[in-house]
Amino acid sequence: MEQKKGKPQEEISFLDREEDNIFYEVHTIHVQKIGTVPVAKGDFGRLPLKAQKFIAKWIQVCNPRALYICDGSQDEANEVIHKLEERGTLHRLKKYENNFIARTDPADVARVESKTWICTDDKYDTVPHVAQGVPGILGKWCSPKDAKQYLENYTGCMAGRTMYVIPFSMGPIGSPLSKIGIEITDSNYVLLCMRIMTRVSHDIWNLLNASNEDFVRCVHSMGVPRPSQRKTINHWPCNPEKLFIGHFPSRKEICSFGSGYGGNSLLGKKCFALRIASTIAKEEGWLAEHMLIMGITNEKTGKEVFVAAAFPSACGKTNMAMLTPTLPGYKVRCVGDDIAWMRFDETGQLYGINPEAGFFGVCPGTNHKTNPNAMETCLKNSIFTNVAETQDGGVFWEGLEDEVDPNIGITSWLNQPFRIGNPGKAAHPNSRFCCPAGQCPIIHPRWEDKKGVPISALIFGGRRPTGVPLVFETFSWEHGVMVGACVKSEATAAAEFTGKKIMHDPMAMRPFMGYNFGKYLDHWLSLNKAPNKVPKIFHVNWFRVDEDGEFLWPGFCENIRVLEWIIRRCEEGSDDIGLKSPIGYLPRKGSINLEGLDKPVKWDELFSLPKHYWEDDMAESKRFLQLQVGEDLPEKVKQELDAQEKRINEELFA
């Protein structure tokens, strides 16, 4: 329903609607003034009743100036873009087609894990029984009572602002693997990014009307009602002092307050598709994982294999998902770069979908050498945040030095003049491109297949500078689950951490776990049952360095060589290319194709298993899991840890 600017078309009255008085258990804010709100766009009365109730409740709490029900159309995007350009939040990049740049308040640049909570009545639904005195790092629990103080900040938080209602699907609309969400937000930057990252459509209302399906309730506010008490920087309202990101799995609700950026505010991504979805997946018997999905075709045989791979943030999932193979005869196509939802079908085959519709990738380090496909994907219809701008209306970030004129004038993400070679950073290390996945030159033709794609192998990995070989195959599903639980990686700029500390990031899910990690491991283990044919599980490490700190493996597009080995290991009759070691099967020397590499590879160093390193590593991982997961650690994982420790102690090392 189109609406002429400035003329409210409909007014919702709350005064006599009984259902509007519903408040959730933890939300006992008393709203004194229940009035009317103009509807700037959409037909509130025709929304499914359950959606009306949800929206009405939050209108009462947040007190917006107007309601805008999004329909996902291009006209809508144009209208909002125009508004944001006028205001200065978005700036058009004249070098490209329909590309924009936004700069945030420098206080709002990354996911804020310290203020991200899961709220459940029972603490141990969310976090494992950690050892006494040990600060738990696997999940952050907040009692509903404590959540109340944060939720009170929502009272009147949208005063003077428009409340946008965004109906969206995670996954292809109507797929049995997909789920529906509704995000309400007072940020139209969030609306534009959600349109790229999820499937926003009017059809969602029909789907909700036609089924009993529930939806995930996503509530976002920048936390800056008008008149604003806080100085707005870069036309980017935010309220870092009151930041709170709360997840309420029991009622499938996410409440995010105070930040406008990335995973904090695009609630379909980490909050819904990982934290809330992992709790739904456990209930329904499937997996919601921090994994890319890619298809690799051997052009000689025509056979295609799909793999899903989990890496902690900033390990290059996006680069891997769309790599350009350097090995002749292989074709890679991308299904997803960050999140996979996977389910065994009735024949026991695992199928996966990418629940997202766009890429929200880290810019620094991305260039035509490391990821030409990502560079092509974001040439149009994309939003860049916290990158630098060249004077000819292009983008710049660290890693693009060889792709722009070295003398060109640049404006840094902090709005300062910058020249290549200057000290400091032109772009923020967590600056991002947000672009439609469908524009990727190698997007898989089946990326929106409602059944998903059949997954043949699962891969875990991390940034491990020492000790961990390029690739190994685990002995069994159970061993693979243990290896996944032991994933570690260097810290990332995607969250608020700094430095190069190696952090545990079990299953690459540490910041994204929606429930007790011990129960999550139980859930994984429980999937190895008839008729399920569980895929093989591998571990890779692109980041091992030699004594001089030089990478031992070229990485990026050369990773196809490792993927080729993995694919061959998934075929019958590949015993001869694997070599049993205490930690799994390593590639037999020469079984990875190294032909045509620029630099010779030091195979022995790349695959060595220093005994002391592995003794310490196993002891440390075991201690970590004992302390952090405690009595919730599944017996089978304990057995796998013990067995591996024994193999390491007893067996000879190369």
Which residue's CB is nearer to ligand OXD, number 313 or number 377?
A: 313
Per annotation, catalytic residue among 142, 315, 434, 557: 315
Which residue's CB is nearer to Mn ion, number 259 or number 313?
A: 313
Task: Determine if 237 is a binding residue for ligand OXD (CB under 6 A).
Answer: no
398 binds, among Mn ion, ligand OXD, none (CB under 5 to 8 A by kind): none
Q: Select from 516, 348, 365, 358 the least CA-distant residue to 436.
A: 358
Q: Strand 141-142 relative to strand 116-119: parallel, antiparallel, unpaired?
A: parallel
Q: Could you tell me how many residues of this chain bind ligand OXD (CB under 6 A)?
A: 5
CB of 194 to Mn ion, least distance (A): 17
Which residue's CB is nearer to ligand OXD, number 187 or number 264?
A: 264
Note whether 485 and 637 are within 8 A (CB): yes
| Binding piece for Mn ion, criterion CB under 5 A, among 192-200, 234-242, 307-315, 393-401 | 307-315
Task: Determine if 128 is a binding residue for ligand OXD (CB under 6 A).
Answer: no
Q: Select from 430, 360, 400, 371 the least CA-distant residue to 556.
A: 371
Note whether 314 and 493 are within 8 A (CB): yes
x/- mask, Mn ion, residues 259-298, rule CB under 5 A, reads ----------------------------------------
| Binding piece for Mn ion, criterion CB under 5 A, among 116-124, 201-209, 309-317, 329-337 | 309-317
CB of 430 to ligand OXD, least distance (A): 8
Chain residue whose CB lies nearest Mn ion: 338
CB of 110 to Mn ion, least distance (A): 12
Which residue's CB is nearer to ligand OXD, number 514 or number 634?
A: 514
Note whether 182 and 213 are within 8 A (CB): no
Interaction residues for ligand OXD, span 96-125 (CB under 6 A): 111
CB of 652 to ligand OXD, least distance (A): 39
Task: Determine if 356 is a binding residue for Mn ion (CB under 5 A).
Answer: no
At 145, the amino acid letter reads K
CB of 103 to Mn ion, least distance (A): 22
Q: Select from 638, 629, 301, 340 the least CA-distant residue to 460.
A: 340
Round to whole Å and give the CA distance between 641 and 618: 8
Task: Determine if 183 is a binding residue for Mn ion (CB under 5 A).
Answer: no
Round to whole Å and give the CA distance between 52 and 19: 9
Which residue's CB is nearer to Mn ion, number 338 or number 490?
A: 338
Tell me whether residue 193 is one of the annotated catalytic residues.
no
CB of 148 to ligand OXD, least distance (A): 29
CB of 338 to Mn ion, least distance (A): 4
At 462, the amino acid letter reads G
Q: How many CB atoms lie within 10 A of CB 422?
A: 12
x/- mask, Mn ion, residues 541-580, rule CB under 5 A, reads ----------------------------------------
Which residue's CB is nearer to ligand OXD, number 313 or number 366?
A: 313
> Which helix (H) or strand (E) element contains residue 319?
helix 317-321
CB of 544 to ligand OXD, least distance (A): 22
Task: Determine if 356 is a binding residue for ligand OXD (CB under 6 A).
Answer: no
Interaction residues for ligand OXD, span 293-332 (CB under 6 A): 313
367 binds, among Mn ion, ligand OXD, none (CB under 5 to 8 A by kind): none
Interaction residues for ligand OXD, span 254-293 (CB under 6 A): 263
Which residue's CB is nearer to Mn ion, number 246 or number 336?
A: 336
Which residue's CB is nearer to Mn ion, number 315 or number 387?
A: 315
How much of the chain is helix, strand and coil, in % rounded to 5? 30, 25, 45
CB of 620 to ligand OXD, least distance (A): 24
CB of 158 to ligand OXD, least distance (A): 26
Task: Determine if 338 is a binding residue for ligand OXD (CB under 6 A).
Answer: yes
Round to whole Å and give the CA distance between 652 and 654: 7
Q: Select from 142, 139, 433 the least CA-distant residue to 262.
A: 433
Round to whole Å and give the CA distance between 317 and 290: 10
263 binds, among ligand OXD, Mn ion, none (CB under 5 to 8 A by kind): ligand OXD
Residues sharing a CB contact under 8 Å with residue 529, sequence separation 6 or more, in sequence order: none
Which residue's CB is nearer to Mn ion, number 289 or number 338?
A: 338
CA terminus-to-terminus distance, the chain: 70
389 binds, among Mn ion, ligand OXD, none (CB under 5 to 8 A by kind): none
Handedness of CA 143, 635, 586, 620 (dihedral sign): positive
333 binds, among Mn ion, ligand OXD, none (CB under 5 to 8 A by kind): none
Q: What angle do the packed helices 203-210 and 49-62 form, to 10 degrees?
A: 120
42 binds, among ligand OXD, Mn ion, none (CB under 5 to 8 A by kind): none
Round to whole Å and give the CA distance between 300 and 630: 50
Pseudo-torsion of CA 258, 260, 261, 262, nearest 10°?
Answer: 100
- Of 338, 448, 558, 617, the one binding Mn ion by CB under 5 A: 338
373 binds, among ligand OXD, Mn ion, none (CB under 5 to 8 A by kind): none
Which residue's CB is nearer to Mn ion, number 360 or number 524?
A: 360
Q: Which two tokens stand for residue 646?
A: 């024994």
């950690």: which residue's tokens? 130
Classify 566 as helix, strand or coil.
helix
> Which helix (H) or strand (E) element contains residue 569?
helix 560-569
Note whether 37 and 67 are within 8 A (CB): yes
| DSSP single-letter state for residue 271 | I
Residues sharing a CB contact under 8 Å with residue 179, sequence separation 6 or more, in sequence order: 169, 170, 171, 215, 216, 272, 277, 280, 355
- Of 163, 443, 494, 586, the one binding ligand OXD by CB under 6 A: 494
Q: Could you tell me how many residues of this chain bind Mn ion (CB under 5 A)?
A: 2
Round to whole Å and give the CA distance between 202 and 209: 12
382 binds, among Mn ion, ligand OXD, none (CB under 5 to 8 A by kind): none
Buried b / exposed e over 393-415, threshold 16 CB at 10 Å, is ebbbbbbbeeebeeeeebbbbbe
At 166, the amino acid letter reads I
Task: Determine if 20 is a binding residue for Mn ion (CB under 5 A).
Answer: no
Q: Which residues bind ligand OXD (CB under 6 A)?
A: 111, 263, 313, 338, 494
The set of catalytic residues is 315
Q: Which residues bind Mn ion (CB under 5 A)?
A: 313, 338
